[in-house]
């Protein structure tokens, strides 16, 4: 039994009251977002709620980050808009039920891809995301959360603000919610302030009959969150290569977006809780959850940074809070729909406003004068792309690419060569800085082939050859010296450089000579009958 408790991290000390109350708060916050995200591609609210239940439950039990909350998300929902448009182009007059079958199949395939990423242990590549990209991602996400609340202040389906009285009512209740969330922890931390705020504002609205937007008001006419246990659904689509080619690109996007958002959220929660989660384990859990979601009438999803921050801010650190949130969400669907539909959106809007404020990295402004200009540009760019496009995966990937290019450019300028002629008339080039694709041009400009003496030593003691472009640059230099009848010696090649040279032998003619530690090339030169190299150690006076 202890073995299985350790597997699920149940052995840690759990504050049951905090975990359960936090889970209840998260469940309340999941409802309107799951509904809103389901409506983006035109699905039923229950499609989003079922996905939120399945994802939250499975990832809470099996995920790599206790305390992190998963559910239906906008980043994944947006992908289905493209899928639906393609289905309508390929199959004019396609029925909504058939479209849903394709969506469920896409979610299942995406889950398989995510499991494959976890089993191949590729989750560790999230470490390649630089800190400026993290700042930009978090700040952009905070702006998205903040802006996503504004439609509640407009008349439904229009760009017109609510009339003055309803607008002020909504704003006042939202501000009251924010005030309670901000002020209550200064008095007591016995219960989560966000839960108290939702209860108090809901009691005022329901008790005094305040006319304001409720959860029921964001749904379509005649729609409800009332339902049963998620029904088992076997996607009814043709099992053909053509069908696979339709859903595979969108499944890959869903898998990629889901994992990027989940792993970045995991890193953020790691920093807040000062603990370390398992990225590969989370990948497998996300994939498993999406497969179950597809078979249980859910639209799929990933980690939710807003709800995760609500959870950890309330003090939750174990898996119980997420399990509680999932179970309570199912209870709401099956038994408490009439009560949940009466909750005022103002309370949930105020809660999400506070989440957005807490999510934003305000400290990033202080780094503007301390960070390199390239990092500032990356951070601002990722923030803007995230906020404008809502495509978190593209924003992060562009940020990583730009950071990598900026890093390569900076390192390319660091290649240097100290030059001296010793007492024997041999010219030494002491190279320092990395030799890679970005620095090969500058490397080639360091040598004066025509005017150099007949014997040259290129010393890599303070440098290393990082890739095949560096090998090719080295090959070109040795060839240039060979054409004018001059001898080149390479010295202090690192082990990884030697390995690259060995790999390059059949591709290019690498003129590597006289490195006493490089036995393969020494043997190669001996075979050519170079009498000067019968004892390569003599060349260095060893």
Instruction: Dump pLDDT digits (tens) for 198-257.
Output: 899 999 999 999 999 988 888 877 778 899 999 999 999 998 999 999 999 999 989 988
pLDDT, greater one: 148 or 404: 404
Same domain, 451 and 361: no
Same domain, residue pair 373 and 442: no
- Paired sense of beta strands 427-435 and 416-421, if any: antiparallel
What is the DSSP-derived secondary structure letter of residue 154? B
Indicate the DSSP class of residue 432: E
Q: How confident is the model at residue 461 (pLDDT cuts 50, 70, 90)?
A: confident
Helices (H) and strands (E) in the chain, counts: 21, 6
Shared-domain flag, residues 339 and 462: no
pLDDT confidence bin for 504, thresholds 50/70/90: low
DSSP string across 103-138:
HHHHHHHHHHHHHHHHHTT-GGGGGGS-HHHHHHHH
Distance CA 482, CA 530 (A): 15
Half-sphere exposure of 165 (CA within 13 A, CB side): 3
Supply the pLDDT for residue 532: 42
Residue 7 lies in a domain: no
pLDDT at 542 over 50: no
**Any idea which of 13-22, 273-282, 283-292, 494-503 has the lowest mean pLDDT?**
494-503
Q: DSSP letter at 391?
A: -
Domain end call among 363, 378, 404: 404
144 and 244 co-located in one domain: yes
307 Cβ neighbours under 8 A, 6+ residues apart: 26, 29, 30, 33, 69, 71, 325
Q: Is residue 409 part of a domain?
A: no
CA–CA dist 290, 296 (Å, integer): 10
Predicted confidence (pLDDT) at residue 444 exceeds the cutoff of 80: yes
pLDDT tens-digit readout, 158-199: 888 999 999 999 999 999 999 999 998 888 877 888 888 989
Report residue 537's pLDDT band, with 50, 70 and 90 as the boundaries. very low
- Per-residue pLDDT reduced to its tens digit, 10-30: 455 788 999 999 999 999 888
What confidence score (pLDDT) does residue 500 get?
66
Q: Which of 369, 404, 439 is the last residue of a domain?
A: 404
On the CB side of 370, how many CA atoms lie within 13 Å of its CA? 6
- Give pLDDT, residue 122: 87
315 and 196 together in one domain: yes
My answer on whether 399 and 442 are in the same domain is: no
Q: Is the dihedral of CA 187, 190, 192, 197 positive or negative?
A: negative
Give the residue from 404, 424, 446 where a domain finishes.
404
Other CB atoms closer than 10 Å to residue 52's CB: what's the count? 34
Tokens 């470490």 correspond to what residue? Answer: 127
DSSP letters spanning 446-487: T--TTTS-SEEEEEEEEEEE-SHHHHHHHHHHHHHHHHTT-E
- The SS3 call for residue 427 is strand
Same-domain check for residues 452 and 387 = no
Q: How far is it, in rounded angstroms, from Cα 265 to Cα 347?
A: 24
> What average pLDDT score do residues 508-522 get?
45
Mean pLDDT of 397-418: 88
With H, G, I as helix, E, B as strand and everything else as coil, classify residue 14.
coil
In angstroms, the CA 424 to CA 455 distance is: 10
Q: Rounded to an integer, what distance in angstroms lies between the CA atom of residue 384 and that of residue 386?
A: 5
Structure tokens at 6: 């350790």
Structure tokens at 262: 């989940």
- For 13-20, which contacts have Cβ atoms below 8 Å and span 24 or more sequence positions? 14/318, 14/320, 15/315, 15/317, 15/318, 16/320, 18/192, 18/314, 18/315, 18/316, 18/321, 19/316, 19/318, 19/320, 19/321, 19/324, 20/320, 20/321, 20/324
Per-residue tokens: 341:
């539909």
Mean pLDDT over 146-155 rounds to 86
Least confident window among 35-39, 231-235, 271-275, 277-281:
35-39
Per the structure, the complete domain to which residue 436 belongs is given by 414-539
Has residue 287 got a pLDDT over 60?
A: yes
What's the CA gap between 422 and 433, in Å, rounded? 23
Lowest mean pLDDT among 250-264, 314-328, 500-514: 500-514
Query: What token pair was written down for 531?
Result: 């009498």
Q: What confidence score (pLDDT) does residue 417 get?
A: 92
- Please state, as a whole number, how many other Cβ atoms lie within 10 Å of the Cβ of residue 239: 8
5, part of any domain = no
374 lies in the same domain as 464: no
Same-domain status, 197 and 159: yes
Q: Residue 399: pLDDT above 50?
A: yes
pLDDT above 90 for 460:
no
Residues 372-388: what's their mean pLDDT?
Answer: 87
In the chain, the percentage of residues whose pLDDT exceeds 70 is 89
* Top-confidence residue, 530 or 318: 318
Give the pLDDT of residue 178: 94
In a domain, 199, yes or no: yes
Q: Are residues 315 and 435 in the same domain?
A: no
Over residues 100-114, the mean pLDDT reads 96
Under a CB-based contact definition with an 8 Å cutoff, are residues 25 and 34 in contact? Answer: no
Q: Is the pLDDT of residue 462 over 70?
A: yes
How high is the pLDDT of residue 244? Answer: 92
The verdict on residue 245 lying in a domain is yes
User: Looking at the predicted structure, is the pLDDT value of residue 367 above 80?
Assistant: no
Band of residue 502 on the pLDDT scale cut at 50, 70, 90: low
Answer yes or no: is 4 within a domain: no
Is residue 493's pLDDT more than 50? yes
Q: Are 464 and 488 in contact (CB under 8 A)?
A: no
Q: What CATH number should be reported for the domain holding residue 474?
A: 3.30.750.24
For residue 60, is pLDDT > 80?
yes
Q: How high does pLDDT run on average in the chain? A: 84
Q: Is the pLDDT of residue 331 over 70?
A: yes
Are residues 419 and 400 both part of a single domain?
no
Q: Is 113 a domain residue? A: yes
CA distances from 144 to 69, 73, 300, 314 (A): 18, 12, 20, 22
Tell me the three state secondary structure of residue 71. strand
More confident of the two residues 148 and 427: 427
Mean pLDDT throughout 365-382?
84
Burial (Cβ within 10 Å: 0-12, 13-18, ≥19) of residue 140: buried
Based on the structure, what is the number of domains in the chain? 2
339-348 pLDDT, tens digit each: 888 889 899 8
Same domain, residue pair 286 and 350: yes
9 belongs to a structural domain: no
Segment 370-376 long-range contacts (CB within 8 Å, at least 24 positions apart) = 371/132, 372/406, 374/402, 374/403, 374/406, 374/410, 375/130, 375/131, 375/132, 375/403, 375/406, 376/132
- The model's confidence at residue 119, banded by pLDDT at 50, 70 and 90, is very high
Least confident of 97-106, 256-265, 278-287: 256-265
CA–CA gap between residue 539 and residue 542 (Å, rounded): 8
Higher pLDDT: 476 or 102? It is 102
């Amino acid at each position: 039994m202890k073995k299985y408790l350790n597997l699920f991290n149940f052995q840690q000390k759990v504050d049951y009251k905090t975990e359960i109350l936090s889970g209840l708060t998260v469940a309340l916050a999941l409802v309107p977002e799951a509904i809103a995200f389901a409506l983006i591609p035109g699905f039923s609210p229950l499609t989003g709620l079922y996905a939120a239940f399945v994802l939250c439950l499975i990832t809470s039990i099996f995920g790599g980050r206790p305390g992190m909350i998963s559910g239906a998300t906008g980043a994944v929902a947006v992908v289905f808009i493209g899928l639906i448009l393609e289905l309508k182009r390929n199959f004019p007059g396609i029925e909504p039920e058939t479209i849903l079958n394709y969506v469920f199949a896409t979610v299942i395939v995406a889950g398989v891809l995510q499991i494959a990423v976890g089993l191949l242990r590729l989750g560790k590549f999230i470490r390649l995301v630089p800190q400026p990209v993290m700042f930009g991602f978090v700040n952009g996400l905070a702006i998205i959360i903040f802006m996503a609340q504004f439609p509640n202040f407009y008349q439904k389906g229009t760009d017109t603000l609510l009339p003055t009285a309803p607008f002020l009512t909504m704003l006042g209740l939202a501000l009251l919610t924010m005030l309670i969330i901000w002020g209550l922890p200064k008095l007591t931390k016995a219960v989560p302030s966000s839960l108290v705020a939702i209860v108090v504002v809901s009691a005022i609205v329901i008790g005094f009959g305040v006319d304001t937007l409720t959860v029921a008001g964001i749904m379509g006419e005649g729609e409800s969150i009332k339902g049963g246990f998620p029904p088992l659904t076997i996607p009814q689509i043709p099992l053909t290569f053509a069908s696979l080619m339709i859903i595979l690109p969108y499944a890959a996007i869903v898998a990629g977006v889901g994992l990027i958002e989940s792993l970045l959220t995991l890193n953020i929660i790691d920093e807040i809780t000062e603990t370390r989660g398992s990225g590969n384990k989370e990948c497998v859990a996300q994939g498993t959850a999406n497969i179950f979601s597809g078979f249980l009438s859910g639209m799929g999803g990933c980690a939710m940074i807003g709800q995760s921050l609500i959870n950890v801010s309330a003090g939750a650190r174990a898996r119980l809070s997420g399990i509680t949130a999932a179970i309570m969400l199912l209870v709401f669907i099956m038994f408490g729909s009439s009560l949940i539909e009466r909750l005022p959106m103002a309370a949930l809007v105020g809660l999400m406003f506070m989440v957005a404020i807490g999510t934003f990295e305000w400290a990033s402004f202080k780094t503007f004068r301390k960070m390199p200009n390239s990092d500032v540009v990356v951070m601002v760019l990722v923030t803007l792309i995230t906020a404008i496009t809502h495509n978190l995966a593209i924003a992060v990937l562009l940020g990583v690419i730009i950071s990598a290019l900026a890093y390569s450019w900076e390192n390319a300028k660091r290649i240097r060569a100290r030059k001296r002629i010793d007492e024997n008339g041999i010219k030494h080039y002491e190279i320092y800085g990395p030799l890679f694709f970005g620095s090969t041009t500058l490397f080639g400009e360091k040598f004066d082939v025509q005017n150099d003496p007949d014997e040259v030593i290129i010393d890599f003691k303070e440098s290393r050859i990082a890739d095949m472009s560096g090998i090719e640059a080295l090959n070109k230099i040795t060839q240039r010296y060979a054409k004018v009848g001059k001898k080149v010696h390479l010295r202090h090649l690192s082990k990884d450089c030697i390995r690259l040279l060995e790999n390059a032998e059949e591709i290019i003619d690498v003129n590597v000579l006289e490195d006493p530690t490089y036995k393969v090339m020494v043997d190669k030169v001996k075979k050519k009958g170079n009498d000067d190299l019968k004892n390569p150690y003599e060349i260095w006076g060893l």
